[in-house]
Chains A and B, each alone.
Chain A
């Protein structure tokens, strides 16, 4: 038995980044997942949502919640990532000046996701898009 939740997110829509993580947080609370795990998941997903808003054209989030873990796939169409290892380094950013002026794009996104998840896989094709898949156990 698993629960699947799907969310769409538009590139550039910072004001709605956070909707998916909020919704998933509510569900995890109803499932009595411990608060520490919920926090990690919410932080990781929020970073992923902001990444889509900041860099991509369009994204789709699919979360599958099972008894002891959640798997989240954030697939976007967008510019892709040239060097994934470099992108994961804390502080590395390709965000535009406008995005940074909005308070985003500090270069902590992917490293924060890595820090808060148990499994992380990033696949990317330049000028096609990126698929970030991560998993947290609780």
Chain B
């Protein structure tokens, strides 16, 4: 697994990108610009939330993942997947059908990652003491952890120093297999990810040395493979694989999945733009004293993960129903696991701040730049059209001051410059081509932006 620089799971396919600006407008960290008519991601700012992927009308964004062919070389082929995976399937398929299909695909062991989640609950409760002031913030959603590190550095210390369910399951699975006589090199752990953020987090964990996972499989990919082999008549009993699964575990990644058992004064927020609004207030001390914050980048939590198939509300509803059939975590005691030892391994180091929005290391220069930005903003039209290749006028002003863009990138200013005779129309045309790519303005019926949803 490569581990150099900041790893990002999301990439742009230049051949598919049509430079439509949808991704650029929705990005919560303003990490996307358009250059030569293509979306370019600023790796320093990207938090892997996947909103660009969701907004793209031509599927130009993709996530790098391992394919199923890699599992063959291991004797013990363990698939680790979050419970939301099961929630995608229509009711005609039972849990037994789904598990049987996973075995058919070549896996030898199956773990839903949220087991035994009561141990993780205990570990998280015990992590309160690290926070000197303000609420403990859940470390569950990696996009949120990255967002806080870069945009809300003052709150980085509030993030719980505990791993996520997939780490719990990985440790638990390996310990159990070792007991059965497996050698570490014989075990292949394959994590099925619901989103790009988890993918990036497994590749490059924020506050731990290295992940134990062997390979990462996209949930979309596995869903497609599974649909080819699944059968509603494969009914062999697979409940042994799920014996530590609880209702809390199944609901863990949904909204209120953590706050409901944490209790005290806690708030659950889903949707990264909602999270941003709340964290702004929290940072200003404009919220009452809270004990715990559960923050999820996707609406409806992981049921809304970008690699899931189907509708997030239907997935969440199926999971609620499924959870109702399962026992509470308190009544589950995995006698075959070394509890204390595993809980100890769920601790991480403190999450370090990684502020990326600083204008200049030299403060005098930074103040100078801010003054320039304010002066430039006065010149710009304030339409926030994105025609310059930046998400809004203010972002363009920042780019100009940082030497990444020019005043003439603003299509309205450019129009004015032409009208006043400061720029020849011919040169203006060249400038537009540089920004939006050659032939960008030729008639082409394959070009499309978003559609009016009414039609």
Query: A residues bordering B, Cβ < 8 Å?
Result: 1-3, 18, 21-22, 25, 27, 29-33, 35, 38-39, 42-43, 46, 65-68
Contact = CB atoms under 8 A, between A and B. Distances in A.
A46 B280 CA distance: 13
B154 interface: yes
A42 B359 contact: no
Nearest to B155: A35
Given A43-B285, A67-B364, A30 B280 contact: no
Q: What interface size band does chain B fall in? A: 20 to 34
Contacts, number: 60
A30 to B, nearest CB: 5
Given A22-B280, A25-B284, A38 B355 contact: no
B367 A42 contact: no
Contacts of A66: 367
Contact of B285 (A30, A32, A33, A46): A46
Contacts of B363: 31-33, 67-68
Nearest to A50: B286
A27 B358 contact: no
B368 A21 contact: no
Contacts of A68: 363
Contacts of B370: 3, 27, 30-31
B116 to A, nearest CB: 37
The 6 closest A-B pairs by CB, nearest first: A35-B154, A32-B358, A30-B359, A31-B366, A3-B367, A1-B367
B284 A22 contact: yes
B284 A21 contact: yes
Interface of B: 153-154, 280-281, 283-286, 353, 355, 357-359, 361, 363-364, 366-368, 370-371, 374
10 contacts: A18-B281, A18-B286, A21-B284, A22-B280, A29-B357, A30-B359, A31-B363, A31-B370, A46-B285, A67-B367
B154 A32 contact: no
Given A2-B367, A43-B285, A31 B358 contact: yes
Nearest to A2: B367
Contacts of A18: 281, 284, 286
A1 B372 CA distance: 12
Contacts of A21: 284
B367 A25 contact: no
Contacts of B358: 29-32
Contact of A39 (B154, B357, B359, B364): B154
B379 to A, nearest CB: 18
Contact of A29 (B355, B367, B371): B355
A32 B367 contact: no
Given A30-B359, A32-B355, A39 B285 contact: yes
Contacts of A33: 363
A3 B364 contact: no
A32 B357 CA distance: 8
